[in-house]
Structure 1
Amino acid sequence: MSDIIAIVLPIFALIGLGFLAAKIGLMSERAGDGLADYVFALAVPALIFRMLSESTAPLNSSPWGYWVTYFAAAAVVWAGAMLISSRVLHREQREGVIHGFCSAQSNTVFLGIPLILRAYGDAGAVPLFLLLAIHLPIMMGVAAILIEAADPERSGGGLRRFFKTLLTHPILLALAAGVAAQLTGVKAPASIKPILDALATSASPVALVSMGIALARYGFRSDPEAASISAFLKLMVHPALVFVIGTWVFALEPVFTGVAVLFAALPSGINGYMIASRYKIAEGFASNAIAFSTAFSVFTVAIWLWVLGVG
């Protein structure tokens, strides 16, 4: 438990730093918006491209049953969150996409890597990488497409504008470039790699500070009901579905099932707030969902480690 707290604490420290800076006037709301734009347009695309282009495991040799186990569960949770958002909470469609994304997307960089490697050691490295290599691009890409498709201004005669947006979307462009580089074996030139690394490395801490500034604007009680539902779906329902599908549908090796369950049991990642900020949709909910799920994960991750018989 102390190890998990030690991992989670720096996340809250960076969020708290942004929150404090905004509260005492060191940084303005405009600064927070600028940081979010930087992360969305430059830092995360660089992270996606680097993650895919530097992958050493061929995409066409990965275990499809393992991927289907994880992403089928994520799809069910995402769809369920959107349904609850629409039918129970009476939110508009684009906000429902943010609810679904925050309920299905995991904090892989800050929590996933150290937690899973600590739990399973070297045996967990391969299944961890197989999810890590495609999780962010797939989840961010789907979110971008759903939000763009749900924009009422893009219906009917706006179809051409919709596809133009997709073709110039930084996340989707990074995904396409990363896959192409991975399949062709092309690497970033030595002169460009330090720039790419600097941008990718800055994505998470800058986004967390940006979220802290947003919390100062929206507070911790912007949308507690929706954030609590999202946290429950993320921390309990998602890993439970992965456990059931991996164990009884695909009969995966125990280490693969365990890694996928822990991956699903991670709290909502910062990318949920980043997308919300980019599109100016449900920013208060996204910041609350991340804060709630991260705080509760200290206890729920311990429960899943016990269920898996790890540690």
Structure 2
Amino acid sequence: MSDLFSIVLPTFGLIGLGWLAGQLKLLGNRAGDGLSDYVFLLAVPSLIFRTLSEGGTPADNPWGYWIAYFGGVAVVWTAAMLLATRVFGRDRREAAIHGFSAGQSNTVLVGVPLILEVYGDDGAIPLFLLLAIHLPIMMSAAAILIETASADAKGFQIAKKLARTIVTHPIILALVAGLIAQRLGMKPSGAAKSFIDQLAATASPCALVAMGLALKRFGFVSDIRAVAAISALKLVAHPFLVWLLAFHILTVPPVWAGVAVLFAAMPCGINAYLIAARYKVAEPTASAAVAISTAISVLTVSGWLWVIGAV
């Protein structure tokens, strides 16, 4: 429990710093918007490109492992979108943010240190394999859903908008560039590596400070019913589905299965707020979901560690 606190508390520290800066009027709404744009357009694409270009492809693709994790993502994402449209009366753009929030895990700030603490070197390979594709897949899917969710777009217009999104979106461009670099064995080095590393390193802290500014702007308890539903899907339903698939249905090595469950048990990732801020859609819901699910995760993650026999 103390290890989990030591991981979660710095996350709240950065969020709190942003909130305090907004409260003291050191930074305003324009600063928050600009910081979010910077992270979305430059820092996160750099992080995606670095992760993919420096990664490797395993000799045997662990399909059961990936199916277990992303099968859980598909269920909770769909459930959150259905709740958003049919229960909470939101449009499809907002529903995409709800789905993304329920399926996107906080990997860098909470997941990586916690999983390595639990499994050590044995957990590093499955952790990296999932980390390498998690952010690109999730961000690309969310961007495409939001970009094509216009109520009056039909047929050819949707196809045209989708094509424009694919060829111009910074997240998707970073995904494609990273995969090409990985395939060609072109790992950044020297000054180029230093440049990309410095941009990538700013993604998480800048995003958390921006979210703190958003919480000052929108409040901590915005849209409480929707936030409660998203948090329940993220912290309980998602890891349960992955646990069921990885431990009881599919053939997944025990350590890999445990990594998948813990990965799924992480709270809502900061990217949920980041993409909401970029599109100016459901920002109060996304920011509150990240903050509340992170606080509750201190208890729920401890429970999942007991379920998988890691404590």
- TM-score by length of structure 1 reads 0.97
CA contact (8 A) 1:230 1:289 kept: yes
1:125 corresponding residue in structure 2: 124
Match runs of 1:129-144 below 5 Å: 129-144=128-143
1:244 corresponding residue in structure 2: 244
1:224 and 2:234 aligned: no
Q: Structure 2 counterpart of 1:143, which letter?
A: A
- Alpha-carbon offset, residue 123 of structure 1: 1.2
CA contact (8 A) 1:154 1:162 kept: no
- Alpha-carbon offset, residue 161 of structure 1: 4.0
Distance 1:96 1:170, change over 3 A: same
2:40 corresponding residue in structure 1: 40
d(CA) in 1 for partners of 2:165, 2:70: 25
Q: How many residues align?
A: 310
CA contact (8 A) 1:220 1:288 kept: yes
CA contact (8 A) 2:148 2:161 kept: no
Q: Structure 2 counterpart of 1:200, which letter?
A: A
d(CA) in 1 for partners of 2:113, 2:218: 31
Greater shift, 93-102 or 162-171, is seen at 162-171
Match runs of 1:193-212 below 5 Å: 193-212=193-212
d(CA) in 1 for partners of 2:14, 2:103: 23
Residue 202 of structure 2 aligns to a residue whose secondary structure is: helix
1:183 corresponding residue in structure 2: 183
1:103 corresponding residue in structure 2: 102
d(CA) in 2 for partners of 1:140, 1:124: 24
Distance 1:178 1:153, change over 3 A: farther
1:85 corresponding residue in structure 2: 84
Q: Structure 1 counterpart of 2:227, which letter?
A: A
Distance 1:165 1:251, change over 3 A: closer
CA contact (8 A) 1:58 1:183 kept: no
Identical aligned residues as a percent: 57
- TM-score by length of structure 2 reads 0.97
CA contact (8 A) 1:46 1:174 kept: yes
Distance 1:59 1:152, change over 3 A: farther
CA contact (8 A) 2:127 2:259 kept: yes
Greater shift, 58-67 or 5-14, is seen at 58-67
2:263 corresponding residue in structure 1: 263
2:306 corresponding residue in structure 1: 306
d(CA) in 2 for partners of 1:238, 1:300: 12
d(CA) in 1 for partners of 2:115, 2:156: 48
Q: Structure 1 counterpart of 2:208, which letter?
A: L
Q: Structure 2 counterpart of 1:99, which letter?
A: H
Deviations 1:274-301 (A, max 9, x none): 0000000000000010011100000000
CA contact (8 A) 1:99 1:286 kept: yes
CA contact (8 A) 2:35 2:210 kept: yes
CA contact (8 A) 1:59 1:183 kept: no
d(CA) in 1 for partners of 2:238, 2:217: 30
d(CA) in 2 for partners of 1:228, 1:122: 35
Residue 190 of structure 2 aligns to a residue whose secondary structure is: coil
Residue 105 of structure 2 aligns to a residue whose secondary structure is: coil
Residue 188 of structure 1 aligns to a residue whose secondary structure is: coil
Greater shift, 63-72 or 45-54, is seen at 63-72
d(CA) in 1 for partners of 2:58, 2:283: 34
- Alpha-carbon offset, residue 163 of structure 1: 1.6
Distance 1:260 1:157, change over 3 A: closer
Residue 191 of structure 2 aligns to a residue whose secondary structure is: coil
- Alpha-carbon offset, residue 166 of structure 1: 2.3
2:30 corresponding residue in structure 1: 30
C-alpha RMSD of matched pairs (Å): 1.2
Greater shift, 187-196 or 19-28, is seen at 187-196
2:52 corresponding residue in structure 1: 52
Greater shift, 187-196 or 136-145, is seen at 187-196
d(CA) in 2 for partners of 1:278, 1:52: 23
d(CA) in 2 for partners of 1:60, 1:151: 42
Q: Note the residue ranges of structure 1 that are not aligned, 5 or more in a row.
A: none
d(CA) in 2 for partners of 1:154, 1:108: 34
